[in-house]
Structure 1
Amino acid sequence: MLEFSSRTAHAGDLEVAADLIAMLGDTTTEPRADPQLEALTLAVAADLPVLLWGEPGIGKTAALQQLADALDLPLTTVIASVHEPSDFSGLPVVGDDPATQGVPMAPPDWAVRLAAAGRGLLFLDELSTAPPAVQAALLRLVLERRVGALRLPPGVRIVAAANPRSSAADGWELSAPLANRFVHLWWAHDHDVVVRGLGGTWPRATLPRLDPELLPQAVTFARRAVCGLLAARPTLVHRLPSEETRRGGPWPSPRSWEMALRLTAFATAANTSREVLSTLVRGTVGDGPGLELLAWTDRMDLPDPETLLADPAAAFLPERGDLRQAVLDGVVEAVRRRPERARWEAAWALLVRALETGAPDLVVVPASTLAALRHADWEVPASIERLAGVVSLGGQADRAAARITAVAGRGR
């Protein structure tokens, strides 16, 4: 009897402990600006595989659970490193007549459940601890959504997580083919988010609101941006990193540029911040190409240099310094390609206008370059005197003319 009473007391204690655990897990969410969470939800909405990189314990798994709850998607977690390659490529099942029917590759149970549900969030955890053979088996799953003979339905999204090799248990470098199939996002903790979350309130993950009226414009903008950049910089189309460690991250290829184009269109239709777009494109094609794409999008709406040269008095110059510098450099380059006295003088008029309406230091480089373009028989326009306080253009123009005359004399 005493033994029974003791067991009853212990069972009661566990029930009280369970109540306390439940109370600690009772949290709520609130709308809160979180750029990394917004980038994740945008990539999920665009139906692109996402790979979250972060140190152990940073909250990657918790973020995925919260995302699945917020989007009302069943979460299926698969620890890649504890599975065999056949768990992703399918297990051969011999039928009645394999000579005529073949040997089908049966999918694992988790894939069957996802297919039956028709929707869900597949979370491939600990990806960086998966050996090369398992990574190779994951290629078709990540790109084609196929597991053996089964194709996952369109309602299934794929998100993976990995620790850097330095902090992963028996970690491997991610293979270049697998890495190039993901949008790479670096997950870091935000002090305020963690403190408020431990207090019971976490930021809410929501899918981006796409404006239906902006969809055609978003597609046109994204295509112009990516195609325009690659036409001007053909070496960016495919650039496999030479270092093995960098091959496991984002790098530019036709596949990753296609993903960058889709993300640019989604970000435009959702009117997301530049910070979020920067995170996404750099996580797709790498930091350098991604930043070049962002700079190219800024320049897409800049005025045409030929229009500015045709009517300098009516020219509109951007307020932002980097954009204004790009406009002035474009004008000087247009004069260099087709040097004519009227165009040269119009460019000086634009530089004077830039000096009167913006920072003087932005005029120095284009003015020096423009001065060097002067032909020997071109008189220095009076407008240059207004720039004399910024750069000594008169002397530079004379020296440029002297060099041109000397070169022409040696040519004769």
Structure 2
Amino acid sequence: MTSSASASPQLALADQLLALLRESATEPRQDLQIEALTLAVAADLPVLLWGEPGIGKTAALTQLAAELDLPLTTVIASVHEPSDFSGLPVIGDDPAVQGVPLAPPDWAVRLVRQGRGLLFLDELSTAPPAVQAALLRLVLERRIGSLQLPPGVRIVAAANPRASAADGWELSPPLANRFVHLDWVHDAQVVVRGLGGVWPRAELPRLDPERLSAAVEFARRAVCGLLTVRPELTHRLPSAEARRGKAWPSPRSWEMTMRLLAFGSAAGSSREVLSLLVRGTVGDGPGLELLAAMDRMDLPDPESLLAAPAAAVLPARGDLRQAVLDGVVAAVRSRPTLERWDSAWALMARALESCPPDVLVVPVSTLASLRQDDWEVPELINRFASAMRISRRAERSAALTSAGAGRR
């Protein structure tokens, strides 16, 4: 009796210590992973977090649900049968007349009663192919048996790479193509700060009501513009099995991409966050092409620049400035006149004031080759002579240095 009485206060103290260890706070802190995750959750798209075991995927989802005030329902996909997701057959009084309904599991019924929540499908890469097939309808249509999940339920999954998963499987292409794939990696500073009791705060993106229509127009123009000039990217199933289990382009994933771009534009999300989401939906190659096409969507019109070169505002980024100058030269080539040629030279001189000479080598050389015999050489062309010589001297020096290193 004495031993039992003395043990109880010690267990109470142990519980008190555990409660203190579990206490933590949050703080506003830029975290691209969390921003990308919350944007996809706001857009009501299923998200799949890829990361090594113990990296904090489950903890991140628990904290996300708490910050968003959403009830968290965790389902370990690998320990369930296919019927747990497709519905359990229940035989009624007269199956020949009434049929055999498919009863949903208890966790799905709870989600419907709550009307909202965060459904966390954990250990997805250890679920066998039959279970993955049963998950298709749940992830895409939000249906389990005869039960329809309410719109307030968001779906997030987590998986370990096959090499580090216990009895891991590659994700089937149909299931993989239904997710936004995010690589979940640890940031040492975030971990240290979190272990000290303060984690980054997960907040839903703040959508600007004045930008909703413009955001939809921007997203449609970006995706449709790329697929118009690159129709082969509309559907491209990877040949390698491992890549089929990640993000790849299809009409479904492009529609998801368009939704993410609209939400990102309306929320003013950074390029880094959009890059994570776009590449996680259609893959690295198509995603990077889309990002490059988006950069060029808002470039100034070459004809407007030729009409008023003195008032031209050139992009700050070197690659975009190069694209603008190349576009101006192409416009002059398409309709060469002395007036347009002189305007192009004025624009090149303006660009020389704020960009390195090597950016101008190709457009200036091409523009010079467009001169017709009866056109006078403008005086400002002399400004480029020294810049071109410096650029060519630097190129020859770099070539000699490279050749010398190769001989060694």
TM value normalised by structure 1: 0.89
**What residue in structure 1 maps to residue 23 of structure 2?**
26
Q: Does 1:313 align with 2:310?
A: yes
Give, as a single letter, the amino acid of the residue that structure 2 aligns with 1:151: Q
State the SS of the aligned residue for 1:283. helix
Which is worse superposed, 317-326 or 61-70? 317-326
Query: 1:257 Cα shift?
Result: 1.3
Query: 1:270 Cα shift?
Result: 1.3
User: Per-residue CA shift, 1:109-158, capped at 9, x if unaligned?
Assistant: 11111111111100000111111111111111111101111110000000
**Whole-Å separation in 2 of the counterparts to 1:148 and 1:339:** 67
Q: Note the 1:173-188 alignment, pairs <5 A.
A: 173-188=170-185
In structure 2, the CA distance between the partners of 1:44 and 1:328, relative to structure 1 (3 Å rule), is same
Q: Does 1:250 align with 2:244?
A: no
Give, as a single letter, the amino acid of the residue that structure 1 aligns with 2:167: D
User: Per-residue CA shift, 1:67-120, capped at 9, x if unaligned?
Assistant: 111111111111111111111111122222222322221111111111111111
Give, as a single letter, the amino acid of the residue that structure 1 aligns with 2:159: A
**What residue in structure 2 maps to residue 266 of structure 1?**
263
Query: 1:342 Cα shift?
Result: 4.5
Q: Does 1:146 align with 2:143?
A: yes
Q: Does 1:171 align with 2:152?
A: no
**Whole-Å separation in 1 of the counterparts to 2:326 and 2:315:** 13
**Whole-Å separation in 1 of the counterparts to 2:229 and 2:366:** 22
In structure 2, the CA distance between the partners of 1:253 and 1:317, relative to structure 1 (3 Å rule), is same
**Whole-Å separation in 2 of the counterparts to 1:316 and 1:22:** 59
Query: 1:240 Cα shift?
Result: 1.6
Match of 1:102 among 99, 103, 109: 99
**Whole-Å separation in 2 of the counterparts to 1:156 and 1:325:** 46
Give, as a single letter, the amino acid of the residue that structure 2 aligns with 1:13: Q
**Whole-Å separation in 2 of the counterparts to 1:368 and 1:236:** 34
**What residue in structure 1 maps to residue 86 of structure 2?**
89
**Whole-Å separation in 1 of the counterparts to 2:178 and 2:68:** 23
Report if the CA contact (8 A) 2:357-2:388 is conserved: no
| Identity fraction in percent | 76
State the SS of the aligned residue for 2:388. coil
- RMSD of the TM alignment (CA)? 1.9
Which is worse superposed, 27-36 or 163-172? 27-36
**What residue in structure 2 maps to residue 42 of structure 1?**
39
**Whole-Å separation in 1 of the counterparts to 2:328 and 2:11:** 77
**What residue in structure 2 maps to residue 137 of structure 1?**
134
**What residue in structure 2 maps to residue 407 of structure 1?**
none
Structure 2 regions of 5+ residues with no counterpart? 390-408
TM value normalised by structure 2: 0.90
Q: How many residues were matched structurally?
A: 389
State the SS of the aligned residue for 1:78. strand
User: Per-residue CA shift, 1:233-292, capped at 9, x if unaligned?
Assistant: 222222221211111111121111111111111112111222112111111111222222
Which is worse superposed, 5-14 or 159-168? 5-14
Report if the CA contact (8 A) 2:49-2:57 is conserved: yes
Query: 1:229 Cα shift?
Result: 2.0
Structure 1 regions of 5+ residues with no counterpart? 393-412
**Whole-Å separation in 1 of the counterparts to 2:204 and 2:27:** 14
**What residue in structure 1 maps to residue 298 of structure 2?**
301
**What residue in structure 2 maps to residue 119 of structure 1?**
116
Query: 1:5 Cα shift?
Result: 1.4
